[in-house]
Amino acid sequence: MAQKDEDSRSPATMHYVRSLGPFPINGRNFTVKLNVNCYKESSHIGMCNGDDQEAVKSMKIEDEAGKTRFNQSFAVGFMHQLERHVVDATLLEGEGHQALEIVYTKLPSHANSGVTIQLFGLRNGTLQPLNEDPLEFYGRLGELPPGESRNSKKLLADDTLPVYVLTNYFYIVSRVRVNWKDFRLEQQESGEFDVLHQPPYERKPDVLADGFVHLYPSPDTSATPAGVDVTPQSHVQVLKAKFRKGPPEDHDSPNEMWLEVSVDGKTGWILGLDDYTALGLSSAQ
């Protein structure tokens, strides 16, 4: 009887192929097919629902003639709770082009990790990946507005895809540009990055005591800073970040990251732990 009760609580794994699409890309149609295991929490008819766990064993992208243009396999752990993958697909609309975005999610994963993306487009009449290796990042995928086609998304200006990268102190917006001419993805790794103020990603400075900061007119240590007083009543906003070298993920020190800030209406750049602390910026990681 105990064995029968246990079996009733743990329905058998269900195997099936789930299709996503078709997705119209520059006059062609493509369908994503997922070969999945469905681990149901209760006995019910049909595919996985929100209470179940789906593990994708493999995926392929087929054209309108049924020919496979891309395929990928995934590891499934001895126990699916230890390792499984889910896959989603979205049509992205750019300026005169469309791309198919495949999002791979590895579960379980730590917060801000486990998600990679791969984009596909038409090149010489054939569907090909714009990035051979899925793009990894520490953070979250940014939001895109709806596109014209059903369930599609529209790329931002200059055909860019926003990625919210978590630094030690806040999220920044790292833009990934779709370079159609050279058929590749180009992720921003230098220059100035916008600091994200959109909930739930916003992290507000919390000034705890009177102090002052060295406000530089530009992100340059040879410039002459001005001393600006701050109090717990000060209005402080972090505007932009600029990294002294390398991509954002390589930085974890205030000495490597310039911040453009506004303190009671005065705007400038700060650098270093003392000024971070004075503005009430604490590590997020």
Over residues 34-38, the mean pLDDT reads 91
Bigger pLDDT: 37 vs 44: 37
pLDDT digits (tens, 9 = 90+) for 117-134: 999 999 999 999 999 999
Closest to 229 measured CA to CA, from 263, 257, 187: 263
d(CA 234, CA 249) in angstroms, rounded, equals: 30
pLDDT digits (tens, 9 = 90+) for 83-121: 889 999 999 999 999 999 999 999 988 888 899 999 999
d(CA 13, CA 31) in angstroms, rounded, equals: 25
For residue 90, the cross-strand partners are 101
At 285 the pLDDT is 56
Q: Where are the alpha helices (DSSP H) in the chain?
A: 2-9, 273-278
Q: In the predicted model, what is the mean pLDDT of the chain?
A: 88
pTM for the full predicted model: 0.84
Q: Where does residue 145 fall: left (phi above 0), alpha (psi -120 to 50 degrees), or beta otherwise?
A: beta
